[in-house]
Structure 1
Amino acid sequence: MSTNTRNNAPLPPVICLFGPTAVGKTDLLEELFSTSGEIISADSMQVYRQLDIGSAKPEPSYLQRMPHHLINILDYKEQFNAGDFVRRAEECILDIHSRGKLPVISGGTAFYFRNFLYGLPDIPPVPEGLRDELNLRLEKEGPQALHRELETVDPETAQRLEPADRARIVRALEVFKGCGKPLSSYKAGTSPREDLEYLLIGLERPRVELYERINLRVDIMFNQGLYKEVKDLFTGGAKEDDPGMKGIGYSEFFPFLKEGCMILADVKSRIQQNSRRYAKRQMTFFRSLPEVNWFHPEDMEGLGEMINNFTKKRS
């Protein structure tokens, strides 16, 4: 069983526009929605302040022209999960609609879309203090020990988590110890929420073209000063297990900064490789969704017609 966060009160119509990293979402949004809509960012890295270049965050001048929500709202040490996203997104949808604008959720974080479209799992509250106890154990025993414990009590969740996924391991153990059931037993819905009217638009490019764009974008990030951005964060106290430091474009730097066991060119290559792998995983998920209307980002005529038909029927 799954739920939304508003006791099934209907939401205004919303457009969900998604695609893999570097497919070309940002430029397209301004062309399609500069006068009619506002964007709700579904990007797990762009929620964090100071993570600008590595998250491919839009420039401030762009954000002034094209209003975005859920960007620059948290410190990189703070957690932000799918449940937080769904609650914040629903608030944004109501706010945007109240001002006569069209809410558009856009990004590439697949589990944000999954939980928004299908509803959140009904996980009961856990006792206060349990997470603090587990975090203390994490510091004393290390992530490997907690991951082994998770393999015993919730092998399904443990299989999809790496020992480096500290916060998620703690959350899974917290649910098991606090609720008496493994996290994997709490499932999101398998059919779309009944309180939601939406249009799903997926953006895609041929794989060779997409991978070339990914490699080029990482080159541009380094030219824009990505190394300095991460070095300044590291000097300012950022740690490898901070939530914001786990993303692609940031985590790859830590072996270089801490131990000096990599050269900078290898860091860049690893970011490019991880980004390509991430894009492949994104597309696997997005293609599993029903009712997606797929477009090449340069098909402005087809995109415009699809969006106009959706909005006209609801005006």
Structure 2
Amino acid sequence: MSKGFTLVEILIAITIFAFVSLFTANSIRNAVRSRSKINTQIENSSELRDALKVIEADVNKAFNYHDYHVDLYNLAQKERAERKKKKNPPKKPKTEGQDDSAVPPPVPTPPVDPEAGKPKEEIPQRKTPPNYTHFKGTKEEMNFTTLNNVQIRAKIPVSDQAEVGYFLKNCRNRINKEIRSNCLWRRVDPYLDKEIKTGGTSSVLIENVEEFELSYIGPEKNSGEWTDIWDSQDNFTATTKNKFPSAVKIKLKVKTGFEKKDRSLEMTVVAPIFFTNNDIEDINKKSTANDK
């Protein structure tokens, strides 16, 4: 006589199978949710990291033009004139002695400069060509010239030198045009001119920016302090005049949404300028120190 499952056994088996199925479904749902959350975090961090890489690449190749041939020529002419002046000093007239000791010696006449009355010889100097490479930066914006320009269209010759600017401005979301946020813009102008802050085309680098903070450190060895302002066109500040900073500290903070909760992601990098190419005064100081 064959035996079958009783109703109680079947109900117990169905209950166990239901619990196992529910546990498996919850595990799969949590895994999918965690995967989606991790992918979103990776995308947001990658977007932030890529934006910082673009800024860092531009800063690394910031270019400050100086025609050293003109500067060195003018410096050599100046030193040559000074050496010539030291080599041929003005001669003093000789006074003849008197035999009569009772008579006081005559009052010596002041030395006569043989070059007096002649027009001064002008030191030959070459004119310095106009400089269109500048660096202007504040706490939330910077504009400078760089060698990081790229060729977008094939068979169209493009210089690697360009004006680049970074600034904050409101923009629309790329997917939902009704949503607006604070965005970091990148401006590129392939034509160099005296107006370092205008011209070219601008594009959004990253959206939902909460904070974009910049600071700069000078080329002087003893400065060691970060500043919020840098202007190479400032004729009244010797620290920044005709000079680029040695490095730029970039702090970028963006807002990201996870599970309907707004969170922030923040990164900071220090981007050095590989070749500041600051003016000839540094070379002049070194040469005078070596002469001493």
Structure possessing the higher relative contact order (Cα contacts under 8 Å, 6 or more residues apart): 1
Q: Which has the higher strand share?
A: 2
> Which structure's CA Rg is the greater one?
2
Question: Fold match, TM over 0.5?
Answer: no
Q: Which has the higher helix share?
A: 1
TM bracket, shorter-chain basis: under 0.3
TM-score (norm 2): 0.19
